[in-house]
């Protein structure tokens, strides 16, 4: 039996990685920021690390955790004490989801009591992790055994009652575990109606801030370092629990710092218990929006993504930071057909068809015939002139040039220009282009519209859209590394299934890439949608948005080119539409594009938003954004409000009609007057 | 370390053609929903007192309630079940451990049925009979929607365990049912844990196993990859709580032979019969340990998801035999 090769992209979530794998697969964001990169773990200022699902928050935070620090020291042969001194911090990693905080509610007990019990339990919970790091230092004999008892004595003083049984750090850990167990039993028994009488032995923050103070006071190499609490999955805490953590941030003392990891929608409040004050940005805390940061710097993200892929393929390579020369070969593993306007790909693909039967030409003929009979066409009066026009814009050797010429005709037609003149005009430009002449305006026209015209041609010829090439997959992942890994995971699986030898021999076929990327796109939507009915609302809003963009892309005269984005004044939206749009943004299904869009007419600044490019293959949308549709608030209400389904249907129909010849959304009437000075190449 | 056997308990099929006269109880309780199988069984059972339990999640108005003694249950399973037991004690004028009782699981919300099983044990009940009826099928096959609205994963009251802050070797065992979004929710909630799914095989009907697997596949990415073990799927009959408990015991023993378990999470998302098996395993082996029961709670449930009545099972749970 031949073993199926192990997919190097099989693990997509950092939670499925061991500490060793976290270290092994770590890639820093830039060459120069090294391990003390984005989250500045040695800085005392608190920071929320926010990002969409799969943006790399947990990997980043776990990389800073003490067990992974130790692995790095061991790898480099650095003594632990030296390593910690050089890092300037000890990372205490805890997942808020691990505590199941929901059990600290209900059971006929009031919220005030639960809040106090939760705070106490959480303090004991994190103290266990802090003590575990120091226990490692004891085991490694980095802390002298005689210091152990001194530290233990001081830990005992942090409690609100005299405890003589704490004589060592191990002992302290056991004592705290007993307190936790007692509380666990009490919480359990509260479910059976028993009175919950738990004695709280720690004042808020005493262990959080007190333990690091004690360690730094008595251990020489810890004197200048800080204990950074890496609290991940903050979204799992309800508002009242978050208020408690926010209070710790505000009341921080001694050699401690906080890094709080959360999904974009996960931070529910900035309120504290300190006189009801709210924490202020850049005063009590900083924000790091991880995926947004990646998107803002495409070059850095590209380099990061390439190293990420390279590390997956060769995790034990000696050269841990492959440079450009080391990663460029990755592109070569993917088949990528030439999709430029003059590519032979399109000719070869239809070589078997009679040129006279080319779909786009027959379609144009039909529309012209209808247009003439309904009085929508200027400059063409009958079948003979239609035949001549089609002959004028025919380039049998260049199907995409034909498509571009037809687009030009549709644009002129929409403006009621003389189509015979337009056909001759565009033929001259096309011939010049084919002979290699430069014409800035026509070159721009080709560049701007070729992607949509190629998409139309592929569809008309029953071919799949081409989503191929690592460069495109990096673009599609929108700053979410997990999205990139997921695409590659599925492509790898399909490549193996179809008998290819991915990343070893030959190229991965366009077909395998297509199948993988479509599967990854479906999965991405499924993963990112919020739970419950909000998921249905966001999902249907995304579908409607994609439906409009798709209609635009495959229309006779698209309103915008390569359309996946829109702009709108969010303040003018119906509250429900605004809420659903906000949810779509916070779950990364809609991406807010930096700096918004300045409107041509009103000069007001509105939000510019795009559909996550990961979703593009689901509805044959482009992955490179050019145009942005300007929607008024009422249109966005139709898209984002479930209750407006019927009105949306009417709008969608009129949207399509406006882009469709021969009427372009107008009623049939008498033949139009010719426009004397038509604009070329809109 | 050897797995515990739960197969010693009685399981009997009640034939729809019989009058079920051999069985009679002081009290019978069933959770009301619009499935015909629930209502047929309610009418057929011989009991001195019968109670309809009305779950808030089905959202029945007062004018939609069935005839008879109806008792409303709220979302808080502990408070609701304790109140119901008190109601039974008051109406029978006897403590619950001296009442012969039969419960039809079929329409129950799982957190309530889990807590009921645990609470009866807590109150010293020695024996309870439990009914479960199989449908002929689910209305929309593998696309049947059971839960509706937002999902929030939480521990079931009384099953909260003694938790370890070390999550390096957590294990989550999921009874994989039709509702893939529940599987996804619970798997994501404990995404650091290794995960094992128990599928219903033999399933209630021949085609249900495939439908079950089709749904579980949709949650594949949330299930992820195990760090400590290649064991990922086990099987237990969809209609047998006792074999389900035995399979759980076997899984845990096998996993512990490879590595200790920091926290053991159980999440019964398949049939109610299997959910009872999860409760029995907890009572038998998980109490006062780092074992706890998780459930992705939805705000609403579909009132009628199945059609027909295929088979009726009677399980006799004898608590002293666990200990």
Consecutive 10-residue averages of pLDDT for chain A (682 residues): 72 85 79 54 91 92 95 95 95 89 84 91 94 92 88 93 88 93 90 83 92 95 95 92 95 95 93 92 92 87 89 62 58 91 82 70 93 91 93 92 96 94 96 94 95 95 93 95 96 94 91 96 90 85 97 96 94 95 94 63 71 97 93 96 95 95 76 47 48
Place of tokens 């210091």: A147
Q: What is the reported pLDDT for A472?
A: 96
Contact residues, chain A, for B74 at CB < 8 Å? none
Say yes or no for a CB contact (<8 Å) between B191 and A13. Answer: yes
Interface of A with B in 223-242 (CB under 8 A): 236
Contact A16, B194 (CB under 8 A): no
Token code pair at residue A379: 């400059």
Residue B75 is given by DSSP the state: S
Contact residues, chain B, for A525 at CB < 8 Å? none
CB atoms within 10 A of CB A198: 17
Q: What average pLDDT does chain B have?
A: 87
A97 close to B (CB below 8 A)? yes
What distance in Å separates the CA atoms of residue A43 and residue B220, rounded to the nearest whole number?
A: 39
A18 close to B (CB below 8 A)? yes
Q: pLDDT confidence of B206, banded at 50, 70, 90?
A: low
Token code pair at residue A375: 């009085």
Say yes or no for a CB contact (<8 Å) between B79 and A94. Answer: no
Say yes or no for a CB contact (<8 Å) between A184 and B161. Answer: yes
B210's CB contacts (< 8 A; 6+ apart) are B142
Token code pair at residue A294: 């990646």
What distance in Å separates the CA atoms of residue B122 and residue A592, rounded to the nearest whole number?
A: 54
Residue of B nearest to A123 (CA): B165
b/e per residue A601-615 (b: at least 16 CB within 10 A):
eeeeebbbbbbbbbb
Encode pLDDT of B163-173 as tens digits.
888 888 999 99
Which of helix, strand or coil describes residue A90? Answer: strand
CA distance B310 to chain A (A): 31
Q: A415: exposed, middle or buried (C-beta count within 10 Å: 0-12, 13-18, 19+)?
A: middle
Beta strand segments in A156-264, E: 226-232, 256-263
**Among the listed ranges A590-594, A603-607, B46-50, B268-272, which one has the minimum average pLDDT value?**
A603-607
A13 close to B (CB below 8 A)? yes
**Among the listed ranges A580-594, B107-121, B173-187, which one has the minimum average pLDDT value?**
B173-187
Place of tokens 């829109």: A566
Q: What is the reported pLDDT for B36?
A: 83
Q: How far is CA B159 from CA B111, B115, B207, B294, in A?
A: 10, 8, 33, 8
pTM of the model: 0.85
Q: How far is CA A431 from CA A393, B181, B198, in A?
A: 10, 57, 67
Residue among B82, B162, B221 minimizing CB distance to A12: B221
Whether B76 has a pLDDT exceeding 50, the answer reads: yes
What distance in Å separates the CA atoms of residue A279 and residue A247, rounded to the nearest whole number?
A: 8
CA distance A511 to chain B (A): 23
Say yes or no for a CB contact (<8 Å) between A533 and B191. Answer: no
What distance in Å separates the CA atoms of residue A102 and residue B153, rounded to the nearest whole number?
A: 9
Say yes or no for a CB contact (<8 Å) between B192 and A532. Answer: no
A237's CB contacts (< 8 A; 6+ apart) are A96, A101, A245, A268
What distance in Å separates the CA atoms of residue B235 and residue B175, rounded to the nearest whole number?
A: 9
What distance in Å separates the CA atoms of residue B131 and residue A233, rounded to the nearest whole number?
A: 41
Residue among B154, B190, B191 minimizing CB distance to A102: B154
Q: How far is CA B166 from CA A119, A128, A220, in A?
A: 19, 9, 28
Contact residues, chain A, for B226 at CB < 8 Å? 16
Residue among A13, A107, A128 minimizing CB distance to B157: A107
Distance, C-alpha A314 to centroid of its chain: 25
Identify which has the larger pLDDT, B59 or A440: A440
Place of tokens 């035949």: A387
Q: What is the reported pLDDT for B134?
A: 86
Q: Nearest-CA neighbor of A601 among A571, A632, A634, A625?
A: A632
CA distance A231 to chain B (A): 13
CA distance A530 to chain B (A): 9
A100 close to B (CB below 8 A)? yes
Say yes or no for a CB contact (<8 Å) between A192 and B76. Answer: no
Contact residues, chain A, for B157 at CB < 8 Å? 106-107, 191
Contact B114, B268 (CB under 8 A): yes
Residue B158 is given by DSSP the state: T
B255's CB contacts (< 8 A; 6+ apart) are B171, B194, B196, B228, B229, B231, B261
CA distance A76 to chain B (A): 25
A110's CB contacts (< 8 A; 6+ apart) are none
Say yes or no for a CB contact (<8 Å) between A191 and B78. Answer: yes
Which of helix, strand or coil describes residue A507? Answer: coil
Q: What is the reported pLDDT for A165?
A: 84
Q: Which of A188, A207, A312 to mutate to test the interface with B (most CBs of B within 10 A)?
A: A188
Say yes or no for a CB contact (<8 Å) between B76 and A106. Answer: yes
Q: How many CA atoms lie within 13 A of A168 on its CB side?
A: 10
Residue of B nearest to A122 (CA): B165
Q: Which of A486, A523, A531 to mutate to test the interface with B (most CBs of B within 10 A)?
A: A531
Place of tokens 């200048």: A224
CA distance B177 to chain A (A): 17
Q: What is the reported pLDDT for B148?
A: 60
Contact B133, B68 (CB under 8 A): no
Residue among A99, A191, A533 minimizing CB distance to B158: A191
Helix, strand, coil % over all residues of chain A, rounded to 5: 55, 10, 35
Contact residues, chain B, for A15 at CB < 8 Å? 191-192, 224
A300 close to B (CB below 8 A)? no
What distance in Å separates the CA atoms of residue B101 and residue B140, rounded to the nearest whole number?
A: 34
Taken as a whole, chain B contains a residue count of 323
pLDDT, average across residues B229-257: 89
Residue of A nearest to B154 (CA): A102
Q: Nearest-CA neighbor of A405 among A436, A346, A362, A360?
A: A360
Query: How many contacts does A have with B, using Cβ atoms within 8 A?
Result: 97
Identify which has the larger pLDDT, A339 or B307: A339
Residue of B nearest to A126 (CA): B165
Say yes or no for a CB contact (<8 Å) between B76 and A10. Answer: no
Q: Which of B155, B160, B224 to mutate to test the interface with A (most CBs of A within 10 A)?
A: B160
Cis amide leading into B81 (omega within 30): no
A185 close to B (CB below 8 A)? yes
Token code pair at residue A506: 């030959």
Beta strand segments in A23-88, E: 46-51
Q: What is the reported pLDDT for B96?
A: 96
Say yes or no for a CB contact (<8 Å) between B163 and A128. Answer: no
A275 close to B (CB below 8 A)? no
What distance in Å separates the CA atoms of residue A140 and residue A143, rounded to the nearest whole number?
A: 8
Helix (H) or strand (E) holding A501: none
CA distance A77 to chain B (A): 25
Contact B300, B147 (CB under 8 A): yes
**Among the listed ranges A65-79, B176-190, B278-292, which one has the minimum average pLDDT value?**
B176-190
Q: What is the reported pLDDT for A498?
A: 92
A187 close to B (CB below 8 A)? yes
Say yes or no for a CB contact (<8 Å) between A532 and B218. Answer: no
Say yes or no for a CB contact (<8 Å) between B225 and A102. Answer: no
Say yes or no for a CB contact (<8 Å) between B225 and A16. Answer: yes
């Amino acid at each position: 039996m031949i073993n199926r090769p192990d997919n190097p992209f099989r693990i997509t979530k950092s939670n499925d990685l061991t500490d060793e794998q976290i270290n092994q697969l770590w890639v820093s964001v830039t060459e120069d920021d090294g391990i003390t990169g984005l989250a500045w773990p040695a800085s005392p200022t608190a920071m929320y690390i926010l990002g969409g699902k799969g943006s790399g928050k947990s990997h980043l935070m776990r990389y800073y955790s003490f067990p992974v620090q130790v692995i790095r020291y061991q790898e480099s042969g650095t003594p632990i004490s030296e390593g910690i001194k050089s890092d300037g911090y000890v990372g205490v990693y805890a997942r808020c989801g691990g505590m199941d905080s929901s059990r600290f509610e209900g059971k006929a007990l009031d919220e005030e009591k639960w809040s106090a019990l939760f705070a106490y339990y959480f303090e004991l919970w994190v103290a266990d992790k802090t003590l575990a790091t120091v226990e490692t230092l004891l085991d490694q004999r980095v802390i002298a055994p005689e210091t152990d008892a001194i530290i233990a004595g001081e830990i005992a003083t942090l409690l609100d009652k005299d405890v003589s049984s704490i004589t060592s750090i191990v002992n302290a850990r056991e004592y705290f575990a007993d307190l936790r167990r007692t509380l666990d039993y009490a919480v359990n028994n509260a479910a059976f109606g028993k009175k919950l009488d738990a004695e709280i032995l720690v004042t808020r923050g005493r262990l959080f801030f007190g333990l690091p103070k004690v360690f730094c006071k008595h251990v020489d190499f810890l004197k200048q370092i800080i204990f950074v609490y890496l609290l991940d999955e903050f979204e799992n805490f309800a508002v009242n629990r978050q208020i408690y953590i926010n209070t710790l941030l505000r009341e921080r003392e001694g050699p401690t710092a906080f890094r709080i990891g959360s999904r974009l929608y996960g931070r529910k409040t900035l309120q504290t218990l300190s006189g009801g004050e709210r924490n202020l940005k850049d005063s009590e805390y900083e924000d790091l929006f991880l995926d947004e940061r990646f998107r803002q710097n495409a070059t850095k993200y590209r380099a990061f993504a390439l190293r990420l892929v390279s590390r997956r393929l060769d995790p034990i390579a000696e050269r841990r930071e492959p440079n450009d020369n080391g990663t460029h070969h990755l592109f070569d593993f993917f088949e990528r057909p030439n999709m430029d306007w003059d590519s032979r790909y399109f000719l070869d693909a239809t070589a078997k068809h009679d040129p006279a039967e080319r779909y786009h030409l027959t379609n144009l003929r039909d529309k012209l015939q209808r247009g003439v009979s309904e009085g929508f066409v200027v400059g063409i009066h009958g079948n003979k002139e239609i035949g001549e026009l089609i002959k004028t814009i025919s380039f049998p050797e260049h199907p995409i040039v034909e498509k571009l010429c037809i687009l030009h005709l549709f644009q002129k037609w929409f403006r009621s220009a003389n189509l015979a003149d337009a056909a001759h005009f565009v033929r001259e430009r096309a011939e010049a282009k084919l002979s290699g002449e430069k014409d800035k305006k026509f070159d721009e026209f080709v560049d701007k519209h070729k992607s949509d015209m190629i998409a139309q041609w592929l569809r008309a010829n029953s071919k799949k859209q081409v989503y191929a090439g690592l460069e495109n997959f990096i673009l599609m992942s929108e700053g979410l590394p997990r999205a990139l890994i997921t695409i590659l995971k599925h492509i790898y699986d399909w490549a193996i299934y179809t008998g290819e030898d991915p990343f070893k021999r030959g190229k991965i076929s366009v077909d395998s890439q297509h199948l993988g990327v479509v599967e990854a796109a479906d999965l991405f939507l499924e993963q990112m949608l919020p739970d419950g009915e909000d998921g249905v609302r966001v999902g249907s809003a995304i579908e409607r948005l994609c439906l409009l963009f798709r209609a635009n892309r495959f229309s006779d005269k698209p309103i915008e080119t390569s359309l996946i984005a829109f702009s709108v004044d969010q303040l003018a939206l119906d509250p429900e539409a605004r809420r659903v749009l906000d949810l779509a943004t916070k779950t990364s299904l809609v991406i807010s594009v930096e700096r918004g869009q300045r409107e041509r007419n009103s000069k007001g600044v509105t939000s510019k938003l795009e559909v996550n490019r990961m979703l593009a293959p689901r509805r044959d949308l482009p992955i490179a954004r050019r145009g942005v549709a300007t929607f008024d608030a009422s249109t966005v209400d139709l898209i984002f409000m479930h209750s407006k389904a019927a009105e949306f249907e009417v709008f969608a129909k009129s949207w399509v009609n406006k882009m469709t010849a021969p009427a372009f959304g107008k009623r049939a009437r008498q033949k139009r007057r010719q426009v004397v000075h038509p604009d070329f190449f809109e | 370390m050897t797995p515990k056997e739960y197969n010693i308990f009685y399981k009997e099929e009640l034939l729809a053609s019989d009058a079920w006269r051999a069985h009679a109880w002081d009290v019978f309780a069933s959770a009301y929903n619009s499935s015909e199988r629930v209502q047929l069984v309610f009418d057929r059972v011989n009991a001195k007192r019968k109670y309809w339990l009305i779950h808030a999640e089905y959202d029945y108005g007062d004018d939609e309630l069935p005839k008879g003694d109806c008792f409303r249950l709220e979302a808080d399973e502990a408070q609701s079940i304790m109140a119901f037991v008190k109601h039974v004690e008051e109406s029978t004028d006897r403590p619950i451990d001296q009442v012969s009782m039969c419960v039809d699981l079929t329409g129950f919300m799982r957190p309530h049925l889990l807590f009921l099983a645990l609470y009866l044990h807590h109150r010293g009940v020695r024996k309870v009979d439990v009914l479960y009826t199989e449908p002929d099928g689910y209305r929309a096959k593998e696309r049947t929607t059971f839960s509706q609205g937002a999902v929030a994963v939480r521990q079931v009251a009384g099953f909260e365990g003694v938790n370890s802050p070390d999550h390096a070797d957590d294990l989550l065992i999921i009874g994989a049912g039709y509702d893939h979004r529940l599987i996804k929710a619970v798997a994501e909630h404990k995404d650091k844990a290794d995960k094992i799914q128990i599928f219903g095989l033999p399933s209630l009907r021949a085609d249900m196993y495939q439908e079950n697997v089709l749904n579980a596949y949709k949650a594949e990415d949330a299930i992820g990859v195990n760090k400590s073990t290649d064991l990922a799927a086990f099987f237990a009959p969809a209609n047998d709580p006792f074999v389900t408990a035995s399979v759980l015991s076997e899984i845990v023993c096998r996993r512990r032979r490879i590595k200790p378990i920091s926290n053991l999470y159980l999440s019964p998302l398949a049939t109610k019969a299997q959910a009872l098996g999860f409760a029995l395993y907890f009572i038998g082996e998980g109490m006062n340990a780092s074992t706890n029961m998780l459930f992705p709670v939805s705000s609403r449930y579909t009132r009628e998801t199945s059609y027909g009545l295929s088979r009726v099972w009677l399980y006799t749970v004898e608590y002293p035999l666990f200990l």
